[in-house]
Amino acid sequence: MHSTWLADAVLVVHVLFVLFVVGGFALILAGASRWGWVRNRTFRITHVAAIVFVTAEALLGVTCPLTSWEDTLRATGREERSFIGRWLAWLLYYNLPEWVFAIAYCAFTLAVVWAWRAIPPRARSTRPGNAL
Protein backbone atom coordinates (compact mmCIF):
# COMPACT_ATOMS: atom_id res chain seq x y z
CA MET A 1 0.00 0.00 0.00
CA HIS A 2 2.92 2.33 0.70
CA SER A 3 4.12 2.03 -2.90
CA THR A 4 0.62 2.87 -4.17
CA TRP A 5 0.69 6.17 -2.29
CA LEU A 6 4.18 6.92 -3.58
CA ALA A 7 3.09 6.10 -7.12
CA ASP A 8 0.12 8.45 -6.74
CA ALA A 9 2.49 11.15 -5.42
CA VAL A 10 4.68 10.73 -8.51
CA LEU A 11 1.55 11.00 -10.65
CA VAL A 12 0.65 14.27 -8.91
CA VAL A 13 4.15 15.64 -9.61
CA HIS A 14 3.77 14.55 -13.24
CA VAL A 15 0.44 16.37 -13.56
CA LEU A 16 1.94 19.48 -11.95
CA PHE A 17 4.79 19.36 -14.48
CA VAL A 18 2.30 19.18 -17.35
CA LEU A 19 0.29 22.04 -15.81
CA PHE A 20 3.48 24.10 -15.62
CA VAL A 21 4.23 23.52 -19.30
CA VAL A 22 0.71 23.89 -20.71
CA GLY A 23 -0.62 26.35 -18.14
CA GLY A 24 2.57 28.39 -18.24
CA PHE A 25 2.18 28.84 -21.98
CA ALA A 26 -1.46 29.90 -21.60
CA LEU A 27 -0.50 32.37 -18.87
CA ILE A 28 2.33 33.80 -20.98
CA LEU A 29 -0.14 34.46 -23.79
CA ALA A 30 -2.88 35.76 -21.51
CA GLY A 31 -0.64 37.97 -19.43
CA ALA A 32 1.68 39.38 -22.07
CA SER A 33 0.41 42.93 -21.67
CA ARG A 34 -0.94 42.66 -18.12
CA TRP A 35 1.42 40.69 -15.91
CA GLY A 36 5.09 41.50 -15.66
CA TRP A 37 5.99 38.12 -14.15
CA VAL A 38 5.31 36.31 -17.44
CA ARG A 39 8.42 38.05 -18.77
CA ASN A 40 10.56 36.80 -15.90
CA ARG A 41 13.69 35.36 -17.50
CA THR A 42 14.12 32.46 -15.06
CA PHE A 43 10.50 31.39 -15.46
CA ARG A 44 10.72 31.55 -19.24
CA ILE A 45 14.03 29.64 -19.45
CA THR A 46 12.65 26.95 -17.16
CA HIS A 47 9.48 26.79 -19.24
CA VAL A 48 11.34 26.42 -22.55
CA ALA A 49 13.69 23.85 -21.03
CA ALA A 50 10.75 21.79 -19.76
CA ILE A 51 9.04 21.49 -23.15
CA VAL A 52 12.34 20.93 -24.97
CA PHE A 53 13.08 18.08 -22.53
CA VAL A 54 9.68 16.49 -23.19
CA THR A 55 10.07 16.89 -26.96
CA ALA A 56 13.57 15.40 -26.91
CA GLU A 57 12.26 12.40 -24.95
CA ALA A 58 9.52 11.85 -27.53
CA LEU A 59 11.85 12.20 -30.51
CA LEU A 60 14.42 9.85 -28.98
CA GLY A 61 11.77 7.33 -27.94
CA VAL A 62 12.63 7.64 -24.25
CA THR A 63 9.95 7.02 -21.65
CA CYS A 64 9.39 9.91 -19.26
CA PRO A 65 11.28 9.29 -16.00
CA LEU A 66 8.16 10.15 -14.00
CA THR A 67 6.11 7.57 -15.92
CA SER A 68 8.82 4.94 -15.42
CA TRP A 69 9.06 5.72 -11.71
CA GLU A 70 5.29 5.52 -11.28
CA ASP A 71 5.14 2.22 -13.19
CA THR A 72 7.94 0.77 -11.06
CA LEU A 73 6.18 1.79 -7.85
CA ARG A 74 2.89 0.34 -9.05
CA ALA A 75 4.57 -2.96 -9.95
CA THR A 76 5.90 -3.37 -6.39
CA GLY A 77 2.48 -3.14 -4.77
CA ARG A 78 -1.13 -3.39 -5.77
CA GLU A 79 -1.41 -1.85 -9.21
CA GLU A 80 -4.51 0.10 -8.25
CA ARG A 81 -4.72 3.86 -8.17
CA SER A 82 -6.58 5.89 -5.61
CA PHE A 83 -9.71 7.79 -6.64
CA ILE A 84 -7.65 10.93 -7.29
CA GLY A 85 -4.96 8.86 -8.98
CA ARG A 86 -7.50 7.43 -11.45
CA TRP A 87 -8.71 10.92 -12.36
CA LEU A 88 -5.21 12.30 -12.75
CA ALA A 89 -4.18 9.33 -14.90
CA TRP A 90 -7.30 9.88 -17.03
CA LEU A 91 -6.19 13.49 -17.58
CA LEU A 92 -2.57 12.62 -18.26
CA TYR A 93 -2.40 9.36 -20.21
CA TYR A 94 -3.91 8.74 -23.64
CA ASN A 95 -3.85 5.61 -25.76
CA LEU A 96 -2.44 7.06 -28.99
CA PRO A 97 0.56 6.13 -31.15
CA GLU A 98 3.85 7.63 -30.00
CA TRP A 99 4.27 9.59 -33.25
CA VAL A 100 1.12 11.58 -32.42
CA PHE A 101 2.70 12.75 -29.18
CA ALA A 102 6.01 13.52 -30.91
CA ILE A 103 4.25 15.73 -33.46
CA ALA A 104 2.17 17.43 -30.77
CA TYR A 105 5.24 18.11 -28.62
CA CYS A 106 7.18 19.47 -31.59
CA ALA A 107 4.30 21.78 -32.51
CA PHE A 108 3.98 22.93 -28.90
CA THR A 109 7.73 23.56 -28.70
CA LEU A 110 7.51 25.71 -31.83
CA ALA A 111 4.65 27.65 -30.23
CA VAL A 112 6.69 28.21 -27.06
CA VAL A 113 9.68 29.39 -29.14
CA TRP A 114 7.36 31.70 -31.06
CA ALA A 115 6.07 33.10 -27.74
CA TRP A 116 9.67 33.68 -26.63
CA ARG A 117 10.19 35.89 -29.66
CA ALA A 118 6.75 37.54 -29.67
CA ILE A 119 6.65 38.10 -25.91
CA PRO A 120 10.32 38.23 -24.98
CA PRO A 121 11.48 37.87 -21.40
CA ARG A 122 13.00 40.87 -19.72
CA ALA A 123 16.66 41.38 -20.41
CA ARG A 124 19.00 40.83 -17.52
CA SER A 125 19.52 43.90 -15.45
CA THR A 126 22.82 45.72 -15.94
CA ARG A 127 22.53 47.80 -12.81
CA PRO A 128 25.61 47.70 -10.55
CA GLY A 129 25.16 45.48 -7.54
CA ASN A 130 22.63 43.23 -9.21
CA ALA A 131 23.70 39.59 -8.89
CA LEU A 132 21.70 38.56 -11.94
Residue 10: inside a domain: yes
**pLDDT higher than 60, residue 31:** yes
The better pLDDT of the pair 129, 110 is held by 110
**pLDDT higher than 60, residue 23:** yes
* Residues 37-88 pLDDT 10s: 999 999 999 999 999 999 999 999 999 999 999 888 888 655 567 777 788 8
What total number of domains does the chain contain? 1
Residue 34: inside a domain: yes
* Residues 4-19 pLDDT 10s: 888 889 999 999 999 9
Residue 9: inside a domain: yes
Residue 16 near residue 92 (C-beta atoms within 8 A):
no
Residue 128: inside a domain: no
The better pLDDT of the pair 72, 22 is held by 22
The better pLDDT of the pair 113, 87 is held by 113
Residue 127: inside a domain: no
Residue 130: inside a domain: no
* Residues 92-108 pLDDT 10s: 888 999 999 999 999 99
Which domain, by its residues, includes 16? 2-118
| pLDDT for res 130 | 58
Q: How far is CA 39 from CA 30, 58, 74, 107, in A?
A: 12, 28, 39, 22
Spatial distance between the Cα atoms of 77 and 84, rounded to a whole number of angstroms: 18
| Axis-axis angle for helices 65-76, 2-30 (nearest 10) | 160
Residue 126: inside a domain: no
Spatial distance between the Cα atoms of 76 and 1, rounded to a whole number of angstroms: 9
Residue 29: inside a domain: yes
| pLDDT for res 1 | 57
